[in-house]
Amino acid sequence: MTAARRPDLHPEVEQFLAVLEEGFPDVTRYSGAELREVISGRRGPLERMPDMRTAEDVIIDGPGGDLPLRVYVPHGDPASARPVIVFAHGGGFVFCGLDTHDEFCRSMAAAVDAVVVSVDYRLAPEHEAPAALEDMYAAVQWAAGRAAGYGGDPARIAVAGDSAGGNLAATVSLAARDRGGPAIAAQVLLYAVIDDDFDTESYRLYGEGYYNNARAMRWYWEQYAPTAGLRDSAYVVPTRAESLAGLPRALVVTAELDPPCSSGETYAQRLSDDGVDVTAHRFDGLFHGFLTFPQFSLTAPAREELWGMIRKLVG
């Protein structure tokens, strides 16, 4: 039986959560490959909207072999080179890819006026941590060397990601700092999976009945980093880092009804305490993943807020 939700939710949030709760599969019942098939079967045709000047699929040499990227260049003729956003999609480290986040990346590229590089990183459980992080790092290296060819400014490379992708944006920022580059100007963490602490206030309040539940979150971590040894690394769980000093300025976005919300807010505070310029923004009354549901009525105004914050961050 689904846990009772808060009675004060926006009616459209209540309605959308009910649809998600009923329709989204219990991920713990499947293998990674089976789950990808189930998710893929639910997805509609790729609409390729909004329109871009170019949206090019490229293959680069990654640490595990061929690494697919999709590079979005919006319309317009900027007087100067655009910022570059290297983006990692969500999906529990297990599913989703370039197509699931195609509309979001296009919308971000158009609204921010940025070159967006979406990364089709290796998925768990076939590829355990830190495979996805190393793919993200390779994509940032590629962007630093090649983005100028797409009208991007290599001095203004940001990393971004939602959910599990937010983890990769955070951890690649640590890796770039520790490895001496490439230089990352900003990090955008969207309801990021920051750590494996399942006993925070938001997990206690919203761990069941709000679409992204605690049981699924535990399962995702078991796929990506099944051993304690893997999770000891700051390149897997960024809160394990001794210091966050010297990281790029950050935009940390959380959703109130999301189990990882408290961890995201704590990470933002720790970044600030370690001297990083941080903007923390919580979308009250909203749930995990809402930014990638354009059909949800409250997504558009929330995106407008988000795009404005990103423009300020990378501008």
The CATH number of the domain where 68 resides is what? 3.40.50.1820
Q: Which residues contact 300 (CB under 8 A, 6 or more apart)?
A: 294
4 within domain boundaries: no
In this prediction, residue 44 has a pLDDT band, given cuts at 50, 70 and 90, of confident
- Average pLDDT over every residue of 170-199: 98
Task: Note if 173 is an active site residue.
Answer: no
253 within domain boundaries: yes
Task: Report how far residue 259's alpha carbon sits from residue 209's, in angstroms, rounded to the nearest whole number.
Answer: 11
Q: What is the pLDDT of residue 41?
A: 84
**pTM higher than 0.95:** yes
3 within domain boundaries: no
237 within domain boundaries: yes
110 within domain boundaries: yes
Beta strands in the chain (DSSP E): 54-62, 65-73, 82-88, 115-119, 152-162, 186-190, 249-255, 278-283
Residue 118: domain span: 11-314
251 within domain boundaries: yes
19 within domain boundaries: yes
Query: Using one digit for the tens of pLDDT, what is the confidence trace for 3-40?
Result: 689 999 999 999 999 999 999 999 999 999 999 999 98
Domain count, the chain: 1
6 within domain boundaries: no
Query: Using one digit for the tens of pLDDT, what is the confidence trace for 203-249?
Result: 999 999 999 999 999 999 999 999 989 999 999 999 999 999 999 99
- Asked which of 1-10, 75-84, 236-245, 296-305 is least confident by mean pLDDT, the reply is 1-10
Check whether 1 has a pLDDT greater than 70. Answer: no
From the list 107, 118, 163, 202, the catalytic residue is 163
- Average pLDDT over every residue of 148-166: 97
